[in-house]
Amino acid sequence: MSSLAPDKQLKCPVDETQCVWLQEIDVLRKKVAQLADQAMTDELTGLFNYRHLMWALNLEIERAHRSGNGFAVSILDFDNFKKLNDDHGHEFGNQVLRAAGDFLRRSLRKIDIPCRYGGEEFVMVLPGTGLREAVLLNERLRKGIAAMRLRAGSQQVPVSVSIGVDFFPAGDSVTAEQVLDRADQYLLQAKQAGKNRVLHPPLEGAAKGMSTDERNALLDVFREQS
C-alpha cells in the first residue's frame, strides 16, 4: 500500500493526457452512464422500461399542471401474441417485439416516450399532444406495424396490434396509474371490438382548425371502426 496521502495519490501533472487517474475516472464515468442507461431501458426492445415510464408520466402530469397543456397516452398490444409464440416459437415472439421497438423509435418524435409496459404491451407518452393528433399518430403506428414483413423460417407471418388512446387535460387530478388505466380501458374495448384498431374518447370539436388531410384521415379512422 502506498504511503502517500489520498490527495497526493490522485494528482496528475498539469496538461498530462496519459495520467492513470484520468483514465480510471473516464472508465468509471462510462460504467456509471452504462448502469444508468440499463436502469431505465428494456433490454429486449431498447425502449424505456416500466420504471422510467412511471417517472415520465408523473413528470408530464406535473408539467401539464404548471403549463396548462395536456398530453396524450396510448397503450399498444399485439393481437394473438400467445398464438404467435405457440405457432412459431418464443424467439419469433422476441423478433416481433424487437422489430416493434425499432419501428416505434423511428416513428415517434424525439420528445415522445415509447416504453415497454410488459410482455407484448407498449406505452407511448406523447407530451403536448392533443387527442386528435394522438389518434392520427396511433393509426399510423397501427398501419405501420401491420405492414411489417416478419418471417418465421420460410413463412411470412402477419402481425397486428390494438391500441387504446386517452388524453390528460391540464386540470385533471388523476394519478399516473389512473392515466394508464383509462388508456387500458380503450385498449380492452379495441380487443373486444375485433382487434387491429385504435379506440379512444369521443373527438368532440376535433374538426375545428383541422387541415383537409387531417379531416380525411379522421374520416378514414371512423370508417374503419364502424
**Which residues are known to be catalytic?**
120
Three-class DSSP category at 193? coil
Spatial neighbors of 96 by CB under 8 A, at least 6 apart, are 78, 81, 84, 120, 150, 159
Q: Rounded distance, CA 169 to CA 64, Å?
A: 7
* Alpha-carbon gap, residue 64 to 70, rounded angstroms: 5
* Nearest-angstrom CA–CA distance, 165 and 189: 11
Q: Which three cell numbers stand for residue 134?
A: 394522438
Residue 220: φ, ψ to 5°: -60, -40
| Separation between Cα atoms, residue 123 and residue 75, nearest integer Å | 5
Q: Are 78 and 159 in contact (CB under 8 A)?
A: yes
**What's the rounded Cα separation, in Å, for the pair 66 and 108?**
25
**Residues present in the chain in total:** 226
